[in-house]
Amino acid sequence: AQSVTQLGSHVSVSEGALVLLRCNYSSSVPPYLFWYVQYPNQGLQLLLKYTTGATLVKGINGFEAEFKKSETSFHLTKPSAHMSDAAEYFCAVRKGAGSYQLTFGKGTKLSVIP
Amino acid sequence: EAQVTQNPRYLITVTGKKLTVTCSQNMNHEYMSWYRQDPGLGLRQIYYSMNVEVTDKGDVPEGYKVSRKEKRNFPLILESPSPNQTSLYFCASSPPGAGGSYNEQFFGPGTRLTVL
């Protein structure tokens, strides 16, 4: 079964510092991987996704993630944190080949300190 | 505007009083899903639907029902709510397509339910 582990339920960074949110996955099929962001009192929205092809994927708001098969990782990064990045971030993997369903990680809450 | 809408956004009810949370999408998506979000547990899928009249259980279906009589609507029904169903609920839909686009789920704004 597919699973996702997000290391760190809460991460704090200073404004302008590097953001690194960690995601490791387990998948018995070629993984499709996703990062979603949830701003306070809102639903989730897609930040970026990896399906096939280029392993470094760029998303909205300056975020990017790199798929590393050997490490079964899909960590999310942003070179310089902004106050508006404060939110909860969820990593997700599709449940199976051709499946519409996603398995979500437990989330990482990002705080940005001015 | 393409969107998923949920109603109500906030609901406080009492144990055993049947309730329905509505979900509607205007993007002609075939796949729809319900999740609950609890602190420290992330999102857990309750039910999903691949198309009209086609529904299936997710990871935590106990105590919930759904129906899909129209493509755009996917209501969540709690026939006898209990306090352990106090949670934040999200509806989502996905478009068809290749290359993982069918996994790009569009989420509603959420319904915060409190069962006393």
Give the model confidence (pLDDT) of B14-49 as tens digits. 999 999 999 999 999 999 999 999 988 999 999 999
Does residue B99 surpass a pLDDT of 60?
A: no
Q: Report residue B103's pLDDT band, with 50, 70 and 90 as the boundaries.
A: confident
Does residue A100 surpass a pLDDT of 90?
A: no
Please judge whether B107 and A49 are an interchain contact, meaning their C-beta atoms are less than 8 angstroms apart: no
User: Among partner residues A42, A46, A99, which is closest to B109 by beta-carbon distance?
Assistant: A42
User: Among partner residues B48, B90, B108, which is closest to A101 by beta-carbon distance?
Assistant: B48
What is the number of other CB atoms lying within 10 angstroms of the CB of residue A34?
29
B102: contact with A, CB 8 A cutoff:
yes
- pLDDT, tens only, B40-73: 899 999 999 999 999 999 999 999 999 999 999 9
User: Among partner residues B44, B58, B104, which is closest to A49 by beta-carbon distance?
Assistant: B104
Cα–Cα distance, B45 to B48 (Å, whole number): 8
Contacts of B109 in chain A (CB under 8 A): 41-43
Strand partners, A2: none
Of A94, A95, A104, the closest CA to residue A32 belongs to A94
* CA–CA min distance B62, chain A (Å): 18
Q: Is B13 exposed, middle or buried, given 0-12, 13-18 or 19+ CB atoms closer than 10 A?
A: middle
Please judge whether A102 and B105 are an interchain contact, meaning their C-beta atoms are less than 8 angstroms apart: yes
Cα–Cα distance, A65 to A76 (Å, whole number): 4
Amino acid at A25: Y
Amino acid at A93: V
pLDDT in the model for residue A17: 98
Q: Report residue B98's pLDDT band, with 50, 70 and 90 as the boundaries.
A: low
